[in-house]
């Protein structure tokens, strides 16, 4: 399967714990995005990489959230000191495009986080 | 900031009926994308519209981009049970990032 993969698919954690999610984009894609989706809502942008550079981060993203893409391939999203409000589906997407256009984004299956 | 509003929030139709969802942006969009998310699934890209007044068709689906590039619509002719899911429009207010509408949840009764 050459699509976007995410690991784990489900994560249950206790409030206050740290969690880390991994995303492996489509190999030839240089752009990688993280979104968060809650029930009944559209995906909400969190952050975006082009290659290894983190180019944009949502103002909604607190300091407890950090993302990396160290070699421009896979990415990790870490949430420190989780809160119940962090419970959501975390979606990763990737796309091609070195220019300033928009390109279709391919989404992974998501990681469903439940904070108890 | 960029806002993309989508209506209706829900649409229930009988199989064979038509369906339309509308998307409105508070600002002019360079382009707009449409995605479909099946229940329990992830968003899947359907189409991208770029030109003012553009109309594109994919079998029973017709996508339109408004002349002012601030609104768009998706019309499905003769719905089938396989059309069930949530349809999202998404606008790019800045380089690459997508702002999604709230989505329209379509249910199709056989």
Q: Has residue B23 got a pLDDT over 90?
A: yes
Q: How far apart are CA B82 and CA B38, in angstroms?
A: 9
Residue of A nearest to B47 (CA): A104
pLDDT at position A102 is 56
Tell me, letter by letter, the H, E, C secondary structure of B66-102. CCCCCEEEEEECCCCHHHCEEEEEEECCCCCCCEECC
**Window 1-60 of B, Cβ < 8 Å to A:** 6, 30-31, 33, 41-45, 48
Q: Is residue B2 exposed (0-12), middle (13-18) or buried (19+ Cβ within 10 Å)?
A: middle
User: In the predicted model, is pLDDT for residue B1 greater than 70?
Assistant: no
Sheet holding A5-7, edge to edge: A5-7, A19-24, A75-79, A65-68
Interface probe with B: pick from A42, A49, A60, most Cβ of B within 10 Å: A42
d(CA B59, CA A112): 33
- Whether B96 and chain A come into contact, CB under 8 Å, resolves to yes
pLDDT digits (tens, 9 = 90+) for B48-92: 999 999 999 999 999 999 999 999 999 999 999 999 999 999 987
Chain B residues with CB under 8 Å of A106 CB are: 45
What element of type H or E holds A13? strand A10-13
DSSP A47-106: EEEETTEEEEE-TT--TTEEEE-TTSS-EEEEE-S--GGG-EEEEEEEE--SSSS----E
DSSP SS3 for B65: strand
Please give the Cα distance from B62 to B58 (Å, whole number): 6
Mean pLDDT of chain B: 93
Q: Judge whether B88 is closer than 8 Å to chain A, CB to CB.
A: yes
Q: What is the pLDDT of residue B104?
A: 97
Residues with Cβ within 8 Å of B20's Cβ and at least 6 positions away in sequence, in order, are B73, B74, B75, B76
Kindly list the residues from chain A whose CB atom is less than 8 angstroms away from the CB atom of residue B45: 104-106
Nearest one of B34, B52, B49, B41 to B82, comparing CA atoms: B41
Per-residue pLDDT of chain A (116 residues; tens, 9 = 90+): 579 999 999 999 999 999 999 999 999 888 999 999 999 899 999 999 999 999 888 887 889 999 999 988 999 999 999 999 999 999 999 998 655 455 789 999 999 999 99
C-beta of residue B57 within 8 angstroms of C-beta of residue B40 = no
Contacts of B96 in chain A (CB under 8 A): 31, 33, 48, 50, 55, 95, 97, 102-103
Provide the pLDDT for residue B59: 97
Q: Which residues of A touch B93 (CB under 8 A)?
A: none
């Amino acid at each position: 399967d050459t699509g976007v993969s995410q690991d784990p698919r489900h994560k249950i954690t206790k409030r206050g714990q740290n969690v880390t999610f991994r995303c492996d984009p489509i190999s030839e894609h240089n752009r990688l995005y993280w979104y968060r989706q809650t029930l009944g809502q559209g995906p909400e942008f969190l952050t975006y990489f082009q290659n290894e550079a983190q180019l944009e981060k949502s103002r909604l993203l607190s300091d407890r959230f950090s993302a990396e893409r160290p070699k421009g391939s896979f990415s990790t999203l870490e949430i420190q000191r989780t809160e119940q409000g962090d419970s959501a589906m975390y979606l990763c997407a990737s796309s091609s495009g070195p220019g300033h256009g928009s390109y279709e984004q391919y989404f992974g299956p998501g990681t469903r986080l439940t904070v108890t | 900031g960029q806002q993309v509003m989508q209506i209706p929030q829900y649409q229930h139709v009988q199989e064979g009926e038509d369906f339309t969802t509308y998307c409105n942006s508070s600002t002019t969009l360079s382009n707009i994308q449409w995605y479909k998310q099946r229940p329990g699934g992830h968003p899947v890209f359907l189409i991208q519209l770029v030109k003012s007044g553009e109309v594109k068709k994919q079998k029973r689906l017709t996508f339109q981009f408004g002349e002012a590039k601030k609104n768009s619509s998706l019309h499905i002719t003769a719905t089938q049970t396989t059309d069930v899911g949530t349809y999202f429009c998404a606008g790019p207010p800045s380089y690459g990032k997508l702002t999604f509408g709230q989505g329209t949840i379509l249910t199709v009764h056989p």
